[in-house]
Structure 1
């Protein structure tokens, strides 16, 4: 067994390596600060610096994407043993996000979708000088409808988002080939899920609230919906290897009985720890003291979340609005009531 100090040194060296998603650390570095080319572009990996300097006006959208990626990832996995907590340490990450795990696959897909989503919305809001609303759809609108409004500019978001998010992995200098292939695949898949989510949104016009005419445009859902779709793909992700298929290497299922990988699959290279107990070398913080649900039968149940260790019970006082009454016109007055609620935390 290696010396503990040597193992710790190796871990620190690993965590200091540049990562193609270290831009998620822009959340803290640039919050509430006007974007400055010389001050902030240098926070990125080298392959992203040039794009940053050429497109300084789009960087606040990327900072928002970083904020959304962090918050939504943690919210999406709040009921799982791995709850995306290490994303808070960006631009440094735990080992589970630096290697080819299923969790890294999810984060790369979500981050790629978040960048494109944020830029597409910024175009439609008039925030960016180089783009505006999406073009009028080629399809014929439904009867009683007309194209109008200002659609999210998904085309521009995908184009610039891919240039930013994928630039590091397209360089021959960073990472192993199989890790590059995995992360690029998952980034493309994240944007594919975003593209497939583009939908027609309409607003009614008419006398006294009638809907005699509808103005419609193409819009994206909130990023939370995209994250939910990606989580479903995370749960059925395919373990792959990177090997020669004909003239070039491709990602193929590790288990040959599994169907071929498609562009709509999330893929990973190595198995994850069970995340039950703390292990810094594996990127596990454990589930001790995590709140669980006694009556649940899902992943947030005390049995599964606590990994069979059992749980402790405590009482918590909560304050709620109660005895609400409507007063004409036009407000609601409520009292504040206190009650004791039973909580459960993992041993």
Structure 2
């Protein structure tokens, strides 16, 4: 990746973290950018929702990257919703960007996940765009990122938390590099093998971050010597691990709708009657019970393989029973 792309990425991440308590994920509102907006003129930057003044300036000087950043915002929303579709908190409030509820405005474990996923998604999407040739001027080479610093305004504890969780997201992305190989030779003899390091899909990275979300550590901003640090609240004082997600504020149980605490509730959410996991009707419905309904499903059926090269199928309709929370 050429230096200007690296420094844009570092600069963008820096600015989204130091412009307010929840501005750090307001850029996800870029997902609402109209597909018809070409983003090839500097005046287009003012039409983008969720950007503060400093980010608009970055947009103007890096127009070639903005479609990729917009795509990253869309990937964050899609991936977050899918990853938490089986949980009481199903990441639905992320679609309210840039006007979030308290589940993402405060220093909750939910905001910890979204910050980590957002940081990973930006890097992931730019890297993919480089490898597919969608971004001109990308090249290999270890160009160091700009150092992350913070302004003194706002909540220091929240900014430290967001910086930490964003770094966790990037580290999980970095750790996802895996060796991929392709064989060359007569009749697949693999006399020559080409290998390269490739990134996992963002959905796999999100699942790793979900595991960290479930085991996230609650921290407090505590004086240690002449400075304050984030340290685990309920454990003997120790440094926060670089690999763990951290949060400052406890979350509601998300059972009942209460916008004051950022809870949409689980009424009318679909549940799984036979599951023992988080999507079970008992857990999803918080003991309130559930209602059955019948749903028609269209599936491929009676498929036949035709020599040599194609398959034909019919469409069959069947009725299945589903359940939603009371």
Alpha carbons of structure 1 residues 25 and 261: separation in structure 2 relative to 1, 3 Å: same
Q: Distance in 2 between matches of 1:31 and 1:172?
A: 38
Alpha carbons of structure 1 residues 32 and 215: separation in structure 2 relative to 1, 3 Å: farther
Alpha carbons of structure 1 residues 191 and 247: separation in structure 2 relative to 1, 3 Å: same
1:261-340 correspondence runs (5 A): 261-340=240-319
Any gaps of 5 or more consecutive residues in structure 1? 1-15, 136-154
Alpha carbons of structure 1 residues 73 and 258: separation in structure 2 relative to 1, 3 Å: farther
1:80-229 correspondence runs (5 A): 80-132=87-139, 134-135=140-141, 159=145, 170-173=150-153, 175-229=154-208
Shift of 1:77: 0.1
Post-superposition CA distance 1:77-105 (Å, at most 9, x none):
00000000011111211111010000000
1:38 match: 43
Is 1:21 aligned to residue 25 of structure 2? yes
Shift of 1:24: 0.5
Q: Distance in 1 between matches of 2:36 and 2:151?
A: 31
Post-superposition CA distance 1:196-241 (Å, at most 9, x none):
1112211111110111111111211110111000000000000001
Alpha carbons of structure 1 residues 278 and 337: separation in structure 2 relative to 1, 3 Å: same
TM-score normalised by length of structure 2: 0.88
Is the CA contact 1:311–1:344 (under 8 Å) kept in the aligned structure 2? Answer: yes
Post-superposition CA distance 1:90-124 (Å, at most 9, x none):
12111110100000000000000000111111222
Is the CA contact 2:21–2:155 (under 8 Å) kept in the aligned structure 1? Answer: no
Shift of 1:18: 6.2
SS of the equivalent of 1:345 reads strand
Higher mean alpha-carbon deviation, 278-287 vs 333-342, is at: 333-342
Higher mean alpha-carbon deviation, 98-107 vs 325-334, is at: 325-334
1:3 match: none
Is the CA contact 1:30–1:40 (under 8 Å) kept in the aligned structure 2? Answer: no
Is the CA contact 2:258–2:265 (under 8 Å) kept in the aligned structure 1? Answer: yes
Any gaps of 5 or more consecutive residues in structure 2? 1-19
Shift of 1:283: 0.6
Shift of 1:286: 0.4
**Structure 1 segments (4+ residues) deviating >3 Å:** 257-260
Is 1:64 aligned to residue 71 of structure 2? yes
Shift of 1:183: 0.6
RMSD: 2.1
Q: Distance in 1 between matches of 2:299 and 2:82?
A: 23
Q: Distance in 1 between matches of 2:312 and 2:193?
A: 37
State the aligned residue count: 304
2:14 match: none
TM-score normalised by length of structure 1: 0.83
Q: Distance in 2 between matches of 1:228 and 1:32?
A: 32
1:53 match: 60
1:142 match: none
Is the CA contact 1:299–1:305 (under 8 Å) kept in the aligned structure 2? Answer: yes
Is the CA contact 2:218–2:232 (under 8 Å) kept in the aligned structure 1? Answer: yes
SS of the equivalent of 1:227 reads helix
Alpha carbons of structure 1 residues 233 and 259: separation in structure 2 relative to 1, 3 Å: farther
